[in-house]
Amino acid sequence: MAYEIWNRRYTGSKFKLADWIFDIINSYCTGSSFCDIFAGTGIIARRAIKNMRRVVINDFLYSNEIIYKAFFLQESFDVNKINNYKTQFQNTDIPSIKENYASINYGNKFFSYADALQIGAIRDAIDSISDVNEKERAILIASLLYSADKAANTVGHYDAYIKGYPIPDTFKFDLISPYTTTAEIKIHREDANVLARFLNVDIVYIDPPYNSRQYSRFYHVLENLTTWKKPELYGEALKPKPENMSEYCRNGALKAFSDLIRDLQCKYIVVSYNNTYASKSTSSRNKMTLENIKEVLETKGQLTCFEKEHAFFNAGKTDFAGHKEFIFLVKVY
C-alpha cells in the first residue's frame, strides 16, 4: 500500500471534519493564501492546496515537519530510487540485524522485538544514504514513521504501550504517496506565536492543542525516530527529557491565544475547538473555554460560530458523550 497523509493515528485529527471545515471556508472566506499554523496531521493543509495559490504549513514537532516535507516539498525526486530502497528495506534479513537503539529501548514494548530491530536498522540505514536529496530523505523517514505507527503496540499515541500479551510481528515498510500541486508551499517548524508576527496571508486556520496532553510527549517515539539523536530515555514510557512543550497545554493557554490573535495579519481567522473542557478527566479538560475564545476573537473582527456533533478520537477511557466541534470564523476588521 501507499500511505496517504491521513493514514496514521493522531489525537485531534480533523480527517472526518475536513469537508465541513472547508465548506465553511469556501462559503464565507475569500483569498488565495492560507496558513495552517498548528498543522498536526497536515490534513487541512492537504485540502488547502487544492484551491489556494499559496499555503503555509507549520507545526513544532520534528516528525510532523518531516512528514510535510515528504508529502508537500516542491522538489523533484527519483521514484525508481525510492522504490529500490523500499525493496531493500522490505527484504531485510532479520536474523542478521545487530541489536540497535530501537530494539534495546522499544523492543517488546512499543513494538515486537523483531519489528523494533527492523525499524532501528532501517533508520540507521537512511542516515547512511548519501545519494538522496532533501525530498527523497523526507519520503524515506516519513514512510518509516507511517509504517512503524501501523505496527505500534499502542492505543494510538505513545504515552504508554499495551501490556499483558505477546506482541505480534506486523511491521512492513511501505512508502507514503507524495502530492503534486501548483500551489506555492512554505513549511515551517516554528512556535505559532512567533510565526504569527511574520505571516501575511488571507486566511489563517488555527487548531491549537486543547488540553494538558503535550503532543511532543504523546508522540515521543516518532519524534525520536525522526531526529535519531538516540537520547537516554526515562520512565516506564521511555521518554527523553522534555522538549517542545506547548504553552497551549498549560495554564497560560489563554494569554498565548490572545497574543497569537493580536499579532495575526490576515483577512480571516478560522479556529477549530471543541467542548472537552467539560470532561471529568483533568488531562482532557480544555485550557480555554468557548467563552474565552469568543471574547478574544471578538476583539479582532466580526465573529460567526458554527458547531457540529463529532465523535472525538479518544485513545483512553474518558467519556466524551455529547461532544461537539466548533468553528469560530472571524472576518478581521
- Residue 2 located in a structural domain: no
235-283 tens-digit pLDDT = 999 999 998 899 999 989 999 999 999 999 999 999 999 876 554 545 4
β-pairing, 203-206 vs 268-274, is parallel
* 159 or 315: which leads in pLDDT: 159
**Residue 236's domain spans which residues?**
18-332
Q: Quick one: which of 68, 56, 2 has its CA closest to 32? A: 56
> What does the alpha-carbon distance between residue 105 and residue 111 come to, in Å, rounded to a whole number?
10
Q: Tens digit of pLDDT for each residue in 111-156?
A: 999 999 999 999 999 999 999 999 999 999 999 999 999 999 998 8
Work out how many domains the chain is built from and give that number: 1
DSSP code, position 168: P
* The three three-digit cell numbers of residue 328, written as one number: 469560530
pTM of the complete model = 0.93
Domain membership flag for residue 6 = no
**Residue 172's CATH number:** 3.40.50.150
143 within a domain of the structure (yes/no): yes
Q: Name the nearest CA neighbour of 327 among 253, 268, 263.
A: 268
Asked if residue 7 is part of any domain, the answer here is no
Strand intervals (E) in the chain: 33-36, 54-58, 184-188, 203-206, 268-274, 301-309, 324-332
Does residue 30 lie in a domain region?
yes
